[in-house]
Structure 1
Amino acid sequence: MSDFNHNNNNDNALNQQLYSVLEKTLQAGVIEQRRKRRWGIFFKLLFALYFLIIIGMFAATPVLNEQRKFMDSDGNPLNEYTAVIRIEGEIAATTDASADKITTALRKAFKDPKAKAIVLRINSGGGSPVQSAYVYDEINRLKKIHNKKIYAVIMDIGASGAYYIASAADEIYADQASLVGSIGVTAASFGFVGTLEKLGIERRLYTSGEHKAFLDPFSPQNVNENEFWKDVLNTVHVQFINAVKKGRGDRLQDKPELFSGLIWSGEQALPLGLIDGLASTGSLARDVIKAPDLVDFTVQEDGFTRFMKKLGSETIQRFFYTSSEIQLR
């Protein structure tokens, strides 16, 4: 009997030890989970604070830069300056050289009483005729309202749609090696007729108009549709030519090749009347405008938006943009 009680006591002691170990293990697990949650909350708060600081920096930098650009090197406010608006890259509704951004900058510069004159600093091979025409028309409208001259300075290239815009300026300048002109219209695509058949793919195209798919790259070309499309391009070309003639006036040489789509160096463009002189933005502001301090009025996206675009969203968007759009190039 005593042996039984002794064994029973041993079992109870063992069970208590097991329960004690299990309890401590569970408590340790709970403590560890709480510790992990606390650290998790800490790191989340730290990340949120870091994110807010970054956003704050993105928001504050443009404001500080906006204030500084109207000051001289000593931090004193400028009393007079030359307003500069950059037109760089493709002229299109979705790029930095869109009509919305350029015209917004133009309105601000024309209204600024301290801006003695405006310089369009161009480095573009052209783009959308619609966007170019919007800017051209707005320049002419603002010139009638404000007593202020506007100049265009062509850097590496000022061609096609970019030259369309430049021709609205009072005077155009370039470097002797700049590329100027290309007064023409283009619309390019590809033809894949027979490609799908060779791959064993059946394409099904449904339209509700006889010529609705005349730009379809997988359909054979039609002579009548090709002539129609050429007429459309010729119409846009005539609009382009008329705009240049109106802007440049008697300064243009009476030579048909000027409107053939050819492009010239700045040295060649000068005697042709495509430009008025050879100068850089700085020398023009200093020697012609007599306001050497330059203030950039270009509309720029905030840093966060530029960062997101660098991730590739804009590239993807442009990749899927229709290849048959009309271009001034």
Structure 2
Amino acid sequence: MTSRPLKKILTSIARARADRIAVVRLDGVIGGLGPGRNGMTIDRLEPVLRRAFELDRLKAVALVVNSPGGSPSQSEYIAGRIRQLATEKGVRVLAFCEDVAASGGYWLACAADEIFVANTSVVGSIGVISSSFGLEKVIDRFGIERRVHTAGENKHRLDVFQAEQPEDVAWLEGLQGDIHAAFISWVRRRRGARLAGDDAELFNGDVWVGRRAVDLGLADGVGMLRSVIAERYPDAEIEPIAAPKPLLARLTSSSRLTEGVVTGVIDAAEARAAWSRYGR
């Protein structure tokens, strides 16, 4: 009969020798939302990703994705860094989509070799969106005159306090088209022959729920992180890789205590709007 202290020691030794699965959460809006905000950026995630891929006896990295998207550039940087590390270390990457993996969130999921969804996950939104307001009538009502001076005829476009110009809209649509093409190219490169729908269906900015995303080849199967890991790597230990808290958050328990109230409200509204597009 093994004594309790000895059993504990043996368990510790077994764990120390076990293969490991690093788990990285990619949670929230992608990109900086202003000073001190906590959107996902490559600078913020770099130390987390490095720690994940540098674990001893690493068998795989699991990405837990829950994001409505955000900055295309930050999505590209983060996903590209994941692929770079995976190639360097020769490690397989699995993505698990929680509530939402849409737009930039799906871009991140495509950094994985396989994508798993829940039956209720919202996945896709392979498109580009821009939004603003038209406030020219507001300043007219109050007799306010807008004054803007630039060097460069195209420096001043789509000012919310001036009437929208067709040539400016055409310019914006051109930018969106280029970003959309880059997004589509990434999805095709990562998903390849697994894509089952046609371009008009897959790349029109729509989203799908769980099983339908699998049917279209946007995901590989329905499965939860722990059940898939237990099946694929039954003897491995799951190792969550937590992001370090910013210094102000550690000192104050809330970084928002030191942030401007107006900026905080605006950023919160923008983040909420991003989530609300997918019913979350």
Q: TM-score, normalised by structure 1?
A: 0.71
1:163 to 101, 106, 121: 106
1:269 to 208, 213, 223: 213
Q: Residue 3 of structure 2 corresponds to which residue in structure 1? A: none
1:80 to 4, 16, 19: 19
Q: Where do 1:1-329 residues align within 5 Å? A: 77-78=15-16, 79-93=18-32, 94-256=37-199, 257-302=201-246, 303-304=249-250, 307-311=253-257, 313=259, 316-317=262-263
Q: Max radius of gyration: which structure?
A: 1
Q: Deviations over 1:111-142 (max 9, x none)?
A: 21222210000111111101100012112212
SS in structure 2 of the partner of residue 194 of structure 1? helix
Q: Distance in 2 between matches of 1:314 and 1:290?
A: 49
Q: Residue 14 of structure 1 corresponds to which residue in structure 2? A: none
Q: Distance in 2 between matches of 1:168 and 1:314?
A: 35
Q: Distance in 1 between matches of 2:222 and 2:163?
A: 49
Q: Distance in 1 between matches of 2:12 and 2:136?
A: 65
SS in structure 2 of the partner of residue 187 of structure 1? coil
User: RMSD across aligned C-alpha pairs, in angstroms?
Assistant: 2.6
SS in structure 2 of the partner of residue 268 of structure 1? helix
Superposed displacement of residue 164, structure 1:
0.4
Structure 2 letter corresponding to 1:89: G
Q: Deviations over 1:58-112 (max 9, x none)?
A: xxxxxxxxxxxxx99x766543221100011101134252222333222222121
Query: What 5-or-longer segments of structure 2 have no aligned partner?
Result: 1-7
User: Cα distance 1:300–1:236, how it changes in 2: closer, same or farther (>3 A)?
Assistant: same
Query: What 5-or-longer segments of structure 1 have no aligned partner?
Result: 1-70
8 Å CA contact retained: 1:82, 1:291:
no
Q: Deviations over 1:2-56 (max 9, x none)?
A: xxxxxxxxxxxxxxxxxxxxxxxxxxxxxxxxxxxxxxxxxxxxxxxxxxxxxxx
Q: Deviations over 1:270-304 (max 9, x none)?
A: 11000011111111211123355321113231552
SS in structure 2 of the partner of residue 132 of structure 1? helix
Structure 2 letter corresponding to 1:223: P
Q: Distance in 2 between matches of 1:112 and 1:273?
A: 31
8 Å CA contact retained: 1:109, 1:297:
yes
Identical-pair percentage: 32
Q: TM-score, normalised by structure 2?
A: 0.82
Superposed displacement of residue 168, structure 1:
1.6
Structure with bigger helix share is: 1
Q: How many residues align?
A: 254
User: Cα distance 1:197–1:231, how it changes in 2: closer, same or farther (>3 A)?
Assistant: same
